[in-house]
């Protein structure tokens, strides 16, 4: 069992840290909202700290799961940040969905400080975090990956080392490109079925056994038809992720016309007041009066 620090107790980090504690690891948590850390302690064994630097003292491994590049830098760098308090040879595993640029930046700083760094964004949403069934894509040194993998298994069903620093974040971008296109396609399919007077749920039951099958179809079509969009990853978060990957595409020359279009559709959903709706709310945009 490892001595672990977990920084960031949002909808993903909270259950992920809980799985580590339940697996028998010694866990110390930090969250900007200290009340959330105290709530976590009421459910799981462990301890809390007042700053990231205090949280990581003596830890072999530090997990971070925050909002974006700026949030990540704020908890990792500076006098009260994680790097300032980590012991030589300790490893920081970043589960934030962030840019490949910041992953490479922090990996370089970590190396200069005698520390390890892995970028390890996750997929599977809140349900995956709660059920310990996340997919984790990892970039960084293979030796550090081997050290982290057994610990990450506490909340993952799939972990894969993708290459050098930044590769985990680039793989997460591939994931979000796929999701954007699939959700828009599913939304259009449901909208078309309803406009054509079909039994939309029956249509989904039929096509789910063929080439149109997808996780989104299996898990979201019923709630979409019911107009329920409170089931996971929010539009605001998706737009953050799409912004990161579209910026990366501009740098590497990738052509992403569908993804760019769906990003604008999500902007329309935000304009409808749906920023906190889940990503399947693209259907609501199609059904506007």
Q: What is the largest CA-CA distance in the chain?
A: 65
Q: Is 94 left (phi over 0), alpha (psi -120 to 50) or beta?
A: beta
Give 97-112 pLDDT, tens digit per residue. Answer: 999 999 999 999 999 9
- Region 211-226: mean pLDDT is 94
Residue tagged active-site, from 36, 172, 209, 240: 172
Residue 55: predicted pLDDT: 98
- Check whether 289 has a pLDDT greater than 80: no
Residue 288: predicted pLDDT: 86
Number of residues that this document lists for the chain:
289
All residues at 6 or more sequence positions from 19 whose CB lies less than 8 Å from its CB, including other chains = 132, 154, 155
Look at 81-95, 151-165, 227-241 and tell me which has the smallest mean pLDDT.
227-241
Give 76-89 pLDDT, tens digit per residue. Answer: 999 999 999 999 99
- DSSP assigned state of 227: T
In the residue annotation, 147 being an active-site residue is answered as: no
How far does the chain reach from its first CA to its final CA, in angstroms?
Answer: 57
């Amino acid at each position: 069992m490892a001595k672990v620090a977990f920084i960031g107790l949002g909808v993903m980090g909270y259950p992920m840290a809980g799985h580590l504690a339940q697996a028998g690891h010694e866990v110390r948590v930090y969250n900007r909202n200290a009340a959330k850390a105290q709530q976590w302690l009421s459910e799981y064994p462990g301890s809390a700290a007042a700053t990231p630097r205090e949280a990581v003292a003596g830890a072999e491994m530090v997990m971070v799961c925050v909002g974006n590049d700026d949030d990540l830098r704020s908890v990792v760098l500076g006098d009260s940040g994680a790097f300032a308090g980590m012991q030589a040879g300790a490893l920081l595993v970043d589960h934030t969905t962030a840019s490949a640029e910041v992953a490479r930046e922090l990996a370089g700083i970590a190396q200069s400080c005698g520390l390890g760094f892995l970028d390890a964004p996750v997929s599977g949403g809140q349900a995956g975090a709660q059920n310990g069934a996340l997919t984790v894509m990892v970039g960084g040194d293979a030796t550090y990956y081997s050290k982290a993998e057994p610990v990450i298994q506490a909340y993952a069903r799939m972990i894969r080392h993708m290459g050098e620093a930044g590769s985990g974040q680039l793989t997460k971008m591939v994931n979000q490109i796929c999701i954007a296109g699939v959700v828009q396609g599913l939304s259009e399919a449901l909208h078309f079925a309803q406009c054509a007077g079909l039994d939309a749920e029956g249509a989904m039951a039929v096509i789910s056994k063929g080439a149109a099958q997808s996780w989104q179809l299996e898990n979201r079509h019923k709630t979409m038809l019911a107009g329920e969009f409170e089931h996971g990853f929010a539009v605001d978060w998706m737009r953050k992720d799409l912004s990161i990957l579209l910026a990366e595409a501009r740098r590497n020359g990738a052509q992403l016309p569908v993804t760019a279009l769906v990003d604008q559709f999500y902007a329309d959903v935000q304009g409808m007041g749906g920023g906190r709706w889940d990503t399947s709310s693209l259907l609501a945009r199609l059904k506007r009066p």
